[in-house]
Amino acid sequence: MKVLVLNAGSSSIKFQLFEIAGWSVVASGSISRIGEDDALLNFRWVDGKGQSQQLDQHHPIASHQAALERVVAQLRTTGALADLTELHAVGHRVVHGGEAFHVPTLLDEDVIDAIRQMIPLAPLHNPAHLDGILVARELFPGVPQVAVFDTAFHQTMPRTAYRYAIPDALYREHQVRRYGFHGTSHAYVGKRAAAMLGRSFDRSNLITLHLGNGASATAIRNGSSVDTSMGMTPLEGLVMGTRCGDIDPAVLLYLMQHLEMDHQQIDQLLNRQSGLLGLCGVNDMREIHRRIETGDAKAELALGIFCHRLKKYIGAYMAVLGDVHAVVFTGGIGENDAETRTRTCAGLERMGIELDEAANYAETRSERMISAADSPVKVLVIPTNEELEIAQQTVEAVG
Ligand code: ADP
C-alpha cells in the first residue's frame, strides 16, 4: 500500500508517493507555474527494474485540478501507482491550523471549514491548500485524506511563550498570538536526534534550527515544543532569505509616518526585500560565501547578522530549557553550511557547546554528530524530511 503526500501552493503542487512498507519513495516531483502556458512538470520515479527515471515537461496547465490530474495520469502510466486501490491515504501539508489543530486530522467537511476559517491567518497558503484538498477528494474518492499542520507541533507551547504583551482582547477576539511554523520539520529532526542520542523523544531536550530560505528555531522539552521563533506569521525570529525576522515594531510606524508606506508596501519590504537579500543583494547562502571570498563587505555583514541572531536564540532557548541534550542543524543552510555552524557556535563553549571542526567540515550529507567528544551539549546535523514525516503522520492518523 502507498501514501501520497501533497503540498499545494498558490502556483505549484509538490508531491511524493511512498511505499508504506519500508517508506521508500516510489515517485516524487512537482508542477510549477500552474495557470501559465509553460507550466513545468518535474516527475521522478523508480521503474520496474529499480532504475531511477526523470521527466521534465512543459505544458499549459490551467488549474490545480488539471495539475493533479496530470500527476495522477503520470503515476498510472509509469506504474508508480498502477491502480488507485493501492492508495491507502493522502496527506496534505497545511501551513496554518490556528488553535484548532494539535494533531494530524482526518479531513471531513468540518475540518475543511475550519481550514477555510483560518484563511485570514494564512492568506497566501491556506486557500491553495484548500484547492489541493478539494481536487484530491474528487480524484481519490473514498481514500482517507489527512491534513498535517505546520503549526500543530507548536500547540504545546505554554501561554507565557505564545502570548504577546499586547491587550488581552487582541488575543481573545482576533487570535493574535505566536503560532510557530516548520513544525513538521522540527518534529522530524527532533525525533531523529533523540534516536541518535539513544534517548526516547519524550525525554529529550533539544534546540532545533531549521535554516532554509525560511528559518526558525524551536526549544523542545521532553519531546514537546515549548517555544519557537516564528510568530503569528513566519516573519518573526531569525534572519531569513528575504524576511527580516525580529525587528522593533516601531520601525513600521516610522516607515508609515516618514516614508508614507502603506501596509502592502511594508509587507513587501519585510517579507520579500529584507533578510539576507536586503542586506547584501542576494539570498542564496552559497552566493554569499562566494562574495565574501572576493572581499564583499555587505555579504560579510549579512552572514555576521544571520549568525549573531542565531546565537542569541540558542542562548535564549538554553535559558528556557535549562538542560539541553543537543542542538540540531537542518534545512539547506543548516545541513550544508559548515561555516555558518562554526560562526554560530563560536564562543558557546562555556555553555557546553563545542564543535569538532573536522567533523563539522566533513564532506557527508547523512545524519551526523559534529560536536567534540566531550561537549556536554551534542551538536547534530540532520537532513530534514518533511514529506516522510507527513506520510508517517498520515498513516498514523488513518490508523
Ligand atoms: P527552502 O526553505 O526554500 O526549502 P532550503 O531548505 O532548500 O530552502 O534552503 C535554501 C538555502 O540553503 C539557500 O540559502 C541556499 O543557498 C542554502 N544552501 C543550499 N546548499 C548549500 C550549501 N552547499 N552551502 C551553503 N548553503 C547552501
> What's residue 399's pLDDT?
86
Domain boundary among 149, 180, 210: 149
> What's residue 284's pLDDT?
96
Q: Is 242 in the pocket of ligand 1 (CB under 6 A)?
A: no
- Are 143 and 265 part of one and the same domain? no
> What's residue 149's pLDDT?
96
* Inside any domain, residue 391: no
> What's residue 289's pLDDT?
98
- Are 129 and 206 part of one and the same domain? no
- Are 95 and 224 part of one and the same domain? no
* Inside any domain, residue 292: yes
> What's residue 379's pLDDT?
98
Q: Is 5 in the pocket of ligand 1 (CB under 6 A)?
A: no
Q: Whose CA is nearest to atom 4 of ligand 1?
A: 212
* Inside any domain, residue 191: no
User: What is this structure's pTM?
Assistant: 0.94
Ligand 1 center from residue 248 Cα (angstroms):
27
- Are 95 and 207 part of one and the same domain? no
> What's residue 125's pLDDT?
87
Domain boundary among 149, 168, 190: 149
* Inside any domain, residue 34: yes
What CATH number corresponds to the domain at position 81? 3.30.420.40
Would you give per-residue pLDDT tens digits along the chain (399 residues)? 999 999 998 889 999 999 999 999 999 999 999 988 889 999 999 988 889 999 999 988 998 899 999 999 999 999 999 899 999 999 999 999 999 999 999 999 999 999 999 998 888 888 999 999 999 999 999 999 999 999 999 999 999 999 999 999 999 999 999 999 999 999 999 999 999 999 999 999 999 999 999 999 999 999 999 999 999 999 999 999 999 999 999 999 999 999 999 999 999 999 999 999 999 999 999 999 999 999 999 999 999 999 999 999 999 999 999 999 999 999 999 999 999 999 999 999 999 999 999 999 999 889 999 999 999 999 999 999 999 999 999 999 998
- Are 71 and 207 part of one and the same domain? no
- Are 357 and 214 part of one and the same domain? yes
- Are 231 and 328 part of one and the same domain? yes
- Are 218 and 75 part of one and the same domain? no
- Are 59 and 134 part of one and the same domain? yes
Shortest-distance atom of ligand 1 to CA 213: 2
Ligand 1 center from residue 334 Cα (angstroms):
8
- Are 132 and 279 part of one and the same domain? no
> What's residue 103's pLDDT?
94
Test site for ligand 1: of 95, 210, 285, most ligand atoms within 8 A of the Cβ: 285
Query: Any known ligand binding at 298?
Result: no
Q: How many structural domains comprise the chain?
A: 2
Domain boundary among 127, 149, 171: 149
* Inside any domain, residue 188: no
> What's residue 116's pLDDT?
94
Query: Any known ligand binding at 212?
Result: yes
Query: Any known ligand binding at 262?
Result: no
Ligand 1 center from residue 291 Cα (angstroms):
16
Contact 218, 154 (CB under 8 A): yes
* Inside any domain, residue 174: no
- Are 129 and 271 part of one and the same domain? no
* Inside any domain, residue 178: no
* Inside any domain, residue 173: no
The domain of 276 spans 199-386
- Are 144 and 286 part of one and the same domain? no
